Amino acid sequence: MALVRDRRQLNLKLPLPEISDRRPRFPLPLPPTTTSATATSTTTTTTAADLEKLQVLGHGNGGTVYKVRHKHTSAIYALKVVHGDGDPTVRRQVFREIEILRRTDSPFVVQCHGMFEKPCGDIAILMEYMDSGTLDSVLKGRGKFSERSLAGVAKQVLNGLNYLHSHKIVHRDIKPSNLLVNNKMEVKIADFGVSKIMCRTLDPCNSYVGTCAYMSPERFDPDTYGANYNGYAADIWSLGLTLMELYMGHFPFLPPGQRPDWATLMCAICFGEPPSLPEGSEKFRSFIECCLQKDSGKRWSASQLLTHPFVSISNSN
């Protein structure tokens, strides 16, 4: 079984090195998922037998995500398993995600505790568990978000994006279902399968990846807007649409209940005007406008948006 001892020193060359007893192992210490000041971590090497599967959190894209418990510490984690007989594209995305996660260390980005590859080809990633799921599941469960709640969401996601962008990482698939949340409303960016490490500040728009509904005009239609492509600005467009969806309760470009199709989205995003809030405070409307500029050069950066008056709402009484 392949072993990775430190996520910061992850070696992605395949095949990964085998250990003699061929048991799946994870790097430790694995910090307990508690905020107690007295919490301590262990330094004992753990095996897959030490992890108890509690429930399935979700299926999709060639794999399964489980909620698991460490039997000796009772710490809870999420275990993402991608099957070895799945789509090779999905496997490449998993290794891309690992490559991104090994570079990150931010409270606003989901933490990866380690990975291993089974002899059958299955790849597993042990990750931080967020007990409230995604912002998409929260929206479906409780309904629309208030402005103050969204100001807090925006501040945390912007801190995450500012961190990623400062390390030349673009996410390329910001949307409610890729933003994890816990019961304290702490929000963390997740799912880096289509993300990219930029070699330079501006990179050509040469790939059509991600979820088309949240793509910016220059990503959706590179023939028309490709000359202005900026991966960092594209993440900001996606954030603007995400916040609008959480506030309105449905995807901004379409009426409630209508499923988007490629042609409708293409016309709306590339040829129509950017969506605007039907209601809301002046600060919120201004913030959304700063995100949803069709000209990517006019969109505010993550660091600029962190200074926007709307973000400060989350700290006000």
Confidence of residue 290 (pLDDT cuts 50, 70, 90): very high
Residue 42 pLDDT > 90, yes or no? no
Q: How many CB atoms lie within 10 A of CB 167?
A: 14
The dihedrals phi and psi of 47, each to the nearest 5 degrees, come to -120, 175
Separation CA 196–CA 96 (nearest Å): 8
Q: Please list, residue by residue across 109-130, b when 16 or more beta carbons sit within 10 angstroms of its beta carbon and e when fewer do.
A: bbbbbbbbbbeeebbbbbbbbb
Q: What is the pLDDT of residues 76-93, one digit of tens each?
A: 999 988 887 767 888 888
pLDDT at 61: 65
Q: According to DSSP H, which parts of the chain are helical?
A: 88-101, 135-142, 147-166, 217-220, 222-225, 231-248, 262-266, 282-291, 302-305
φ/ψ of 5, rounded to 5, equals -90, -25
282 Cβ contact list (under 8 Å, min separation 6): none
How does 46-75 read in b/e, with b if 16+ C-beta sit within 10 Å?
Answer: bebebbeeeeebeeebbbbbbbbbbeebeb
- With 90 as the cut, is the pLDDT of residue 177 above it? yes
Q: Is 105 a catalytic residue?
A: no
Residue 71, annotated ligand binder? no
Average pLDDT over residues 252-258: 78
- Report pLDDT digits (tens) over 262-275: 788 888 888 888 98
Bond from prior residue into 252 cis (ω within 30 degrees of 0): no
Q: What is the DSSP string of 60-84?
A: ETTEEEEEEEETTT--EEEEEEE-T
Note the pLDDT of residue 225: 65
- Maximum pairwise Cα distance, the chain: 63
Q: What percent of the chain shows pLDDT beyond 90?
A: 43
Active-site residue among 131, 136, 173, 191? 173
Which domains can be identified in the chain, with CATH numbers?
A: 7-128 (3.30.200.20), 135-315 (1.10.510.10)
Side chain identity at residue 142, one-letter code? R
Whether the model pTM is above 0.75: yes
Nearest 10 degrees: CA dihedral of 283, 140, 74, 78?
-90
pLDDT score for 239: 98
User: Residue 222: CB partners within 8 Å, gap ≥ 6?
Assistant: 205, 206, 208, 229
CB of 181 within 8 A of CB of 187?
A: yes
CA 174-206-221 angle, to 5 degrees, is 70
